[in-house]
Amino acid sequence: RNTLMWFRNDLRLQDNKALYEASMRSKVGAKYLIALYIVSEEEWKEHDEAPVKIDFWMRNLVSLKAKLDKIAIPLVVKTAKRKTDVVGVVESVVREFDISHVFWSQELMVDEKRRDKAVKNALQKIKVHVEECEDQYIVNPLNVRTKTGNPYAVFTPFYNTWCKLVETEPHHLRLTEAPDANPHEAKDLFARYFKATIPSSHPHGLDVETINNLYPAGEDEAHLRLNAFLKTKVKNYRVSRNIPIPEGTSVMSPYLNAGVISTRQCVVMARAANKNKITTGDEDIKSWIKELGWREFYRNILVSFPRVCMNRAFQLKTEKLQWSNNDEHFQRWCEGKTGFPIVDAGMRQLNSIGYMHNRLRMVTACFLAKDLLIDWHKGERYFMQRLIDGDLASNNGGWQWSASTGTDAQPYFRVFNPLLQSQRFDPKGDYIRRWVPELQGLTDKQIHDPYHILDAKEFAKLGYPKPVVDHAKARDKFVNEFKRVLALA
Q: Min. distance of Cβ 295 from ligand FAD in angstroms?
A: 4
Least CB distance from residue 169 to ligand FAD, whole Å? 22
Taking the least distance from each CB to ligand FAD, the nearer of 7 and 298 is 298
Neighbouring CB atoms inside 10 A of 45's CB total: 11
Catalytic one among 6, 57, 162, 294?
294
- Stretch in the footprint of ligand FAD (CB under 6 A) among 290-298, 301-309, 412-420, 442-450: 290-298
106 is a site residue for ligand FAD (CB under 6 A):
no
| Contacting residue, 383, 416, 464, 478, with ligand FAD by CB under 6 A | 383
Which residue from 43, 48, 344, 391 is in contact with ligand FAD, where contact means CB under 6 A? 391
Considering the rule CB under 6 A, would residue 349 count as an interface residue with ligand FAD? no
In this chain, which of 5, 130, 269, 362 binds ligand FAD, going by CB under 6 A?
362
Does 291 interact with ligand FAD (rule: CB under 6 A)? yes
Closer residue to ligand FAD in complex, CB, 34/230: 230
Q: Which is nearer to ligand FAD, 126 or 228 (CB)?
A: 228
Q: Which of 60, 63, 265, 395 binds ligand FAD (CB under 6 A)?
A: 395
Report the residue number, 2 or 161, with the smaller CB distance to ligand FAD.
161
431 binds ligand FAD (CB under 6 A): no
Which of 198/226 has CB closer to ligand FAD? 226
Tell me if residue 323 is catalytic.
yes
| Residue 38, beta-bridge partner list | 78
Residues 212-251 that bind ligand FAD (CB under 6 A): 241, 249-251
Which residues, in sequence order, are bridge partners of residue 76? 36
Across the beta sheet with 75-79, what order do the strands follow? 75-79, 33-39, 2-7, 99-105, 129-133
Concerning whether 294 is annotated as a catalytic residue, the answer is yes
Least distance in angstroms from the C-beta of 268 to ligand FAD: 14
Rounded to 5 degrees, what angle do the CA atoms 259, 262, 265 make? Answer: 155
In this structure, the chain runs to a length of: 489
In the bound complex, which residue of the shown chain has the CB atom lying closest to ligand FAD? 398
291 catalytic per annotation: yes
CB of 349 to ligand FAD, least distance (A): 11
Among 74, 179, 390, 450, binds ligand FAD (CB under 6 A): 390
Least separation in angstroms between CB 251 and ligand FAD: 4
**Of 333, 399, 401, 435, which is the active-site residue?**
399
Name every residue whose Cβ is closer than 8 Å to that of residue 243 and which is 6 or more positions away in sequence: 359, 425, 426
Residue 248 phi, psi dihedral angles, 5° rounding: -100, 5
- Nearer CB in complex with ligand FAD: 269/442: 269
Pick one of 25, 361, 378, 471: the residue that binds ligand FAD (CB under 6 A). Answer: 361
d(CA 250, CA 235): 12
Q: How far is the CB of 127 from ligand FAD (least distance, A)?
A: 39
Q: What is the 3-state secondary structure (H, E, C) of the chain?
A: CEEEEEECCCCCCCCCHHHHHHHHHHHHHCCCEEEEEEECHHHHHHCCCCHHHHHHHHHHHHHHHHHHHHCCCCEEEEECCCHHHHHHHHHHHHHHCCEEEEEEECCCCHHHHHHHHHHHHHHHHCCCEEEEECCCCCCCHHHCECCCCCECCCHHHHHHHHHHHHHHCHHHHCCCCCCCCCCCCHHHHCHHHHHCCCCCCCCCCCCHHHHHHHCCCCHHHHHHHHHHHHHCHHHHHHHHCCCCCCCCCCCCHHHHHCCCCCHHHHHHHHHHCCCCCCCCCCHHHHHHHHHHHHHHHHHHHHHHCHHHHHCCCCCHHHHHCCCCCCHHHHHHHHHCCCCCHHHHHHHHHHHHHCCCCHHHHHHHHHHHHHHCCCCHHHHHHHHHHHCCCCCHHHHHHHHHHHCCCCCCCCCCCCCCCHHHHHHHHCCCCHHHHHHCHHHCCCCCCHHHCHHHHCCHHHHHHHCCCCCCCCHHHHHHHHHHHHHHHHHHC
Between 90 and 387, CB nearer to ligand FAD:
387
Q: Which of 49, 167, 291, 438 is catalytic?
A: 291
Is 399 catalytic? The answer is: yes
Q: 247 to 276, contacts with ligand FAD by CB under 6 A?
A: 249-253, 256-257
Q: Write the binding mask 3 to 32 for ligand FAD: x where contact by CB under 6 A, - elsewhere.
A: ------------------------------
Q: Which of residues 400-419 bind ligand FAD (CB under 6 A)?
A: 402
Nearer residue to ligand FAD within complex by CB, 3 or 338: 338
**Contact window for ligand FAD (CB under 6 A) among 129-137, 182-190, 199-207, 397-405:** 397-405
CB of 314 to ligand FAD, least distance (A): 14
* 387 binds ligand FAD, rule: CB under 6 A: yes
Maximum Cα–Cα distance for the chain, whole Å? 79
Cβ pair 365, 395 in contact under 8 A = no
Query: Which residues are known to be catalytic?
Result: 291, 294, 323, 358, 376, 399
In the complex, the residues that contact ligand FAD under the rule CB under 6 A are 241, 249-253, 256-257, 291-292, 294-295, 298, 358, 361-362, 365, 383, 387, 389-391, 394-395, 397-399, 402
